[in-house]
Amino acid sequence: MSNPRPMCLLDKNIARRIIEGLSHPDALSDEEALVIALWRRLRQVGHRLFISIETVNILRVFSAYQEMQVFLTSVEPMEPTRYFKRWARRLRGYGFTGEDAKVLSLGTFGTDEAGQILGVKVIITLDQSFINNLKANEPVLEEKLRAMAVNLSPPFCEAVLPRLVQPGEVLIALS
């Protein structure tokens, strides 16, 4: 596939901040403003933005609301592929919460509706403890993932661990 658009996965608290900001645009908190500035920038530069299929299914119930519709039309659902569960269960053994394990595993074993991608390079989160835990375990997790993937068929044998980044870091990098 030639020159695919950059992609990133937004965790559910990023989605929450955007939706809440859309509901009161004249009274944005600093954190909402940061996340919305990033969301706008990512859209301007043509990134494909994903949220988990679980979050999409929850939010779609309210898609008749302007605020929700604006957000939902800006994102795509990321769906679990084969090996998602196996990798998520292994991540649980490294101190990740169930929610963190779901998101991190989706970043490695997740795909779009057409099944044309595997994983994302970057997951954007506000959760510094999640970021710290990945940093602390990154070398061993990369080794575990390589060992797990080596015998899998393409494209799963090329699966990689995504980076976890704070919104401000991405916004500065794109400015």
Partner 1 sequence: MMPEAAMRSPTQRTRQTADMVRQLSHEELTQLVNLVPMLRRFLVRRREPMIDKAELKAYLLQEMAQLGDEYRPMRDGDPFLGGLTVGEYFSLSDRGRAETWEDIHSMEIDDFEERDVKPEAHVSA
Positions in the binding site for partner 1 (CB under 8 A): 1, 4, 7, 12-13, 16, 20-26, 28, 30, 33-34, 36-37, 40, 54-55, 58, 62, 64-70, 79-85, 88-89, 92, 98-99, 101-102, 105, 111, 114-121, 153-155, 158-160, 162, 168-169, 171-172, 175
Nearer to partner 1, 21 or 164 (CB): 21
- Dihedral class, residue 96 (left if φ above 0, else alpha if ψ from -120 to 50, else beta): beta
- Is residue 51 helix, strand or coil? strand
166 contacts 132 by C-beta, under 8 angstroms: no
Minimum distance of partner 1 from residue 120's CB (angstroms): 5
Residue with tokens 């990154």: 138
Minimum distance of partner 1 from residue 154's CB (angstroms): 5
Minimum distance of partner 1 from residue 45's CB (angstroms): 14
Cα–Cα distance measured from residue 68 to residue 60, given in angstroms and rounded to the nearest whole number: 8
Nearer to partner 1, 80 or 133 (CB): 80
Minimum distance of partner 1 from residue 85's CB (angstroms): 5
Cα–Cα distance measured from residue 96 to residue 54, given in angstroms and rounded to the nearest whole number: 18
Nearer to partner 1, 21 or 125 (CB): 21
**Half-sphere exposure of residue 70, counting CA atoms within 13 Å on the CB side?**
12
Which has the closest alpha carbon to 160: 131, 114, 122? 122
Nearer to partner 1, 54 or 144 (CB): 54
Residue 88 burial (CB count, 10 A): 21
Minimum distance of partner 1 from residue 20's CB (angstroms): 7
Minimum distance of partner 1 from residue 7's CB (angstroms): 6
Cα–Cα distance measured from residue 115 to residue 39, given in angstroms and rounded to the nearest whole number: 24
The amino acid occupying position 145 is L
Nearer to partner 1, 78 or 133 (CB): 78
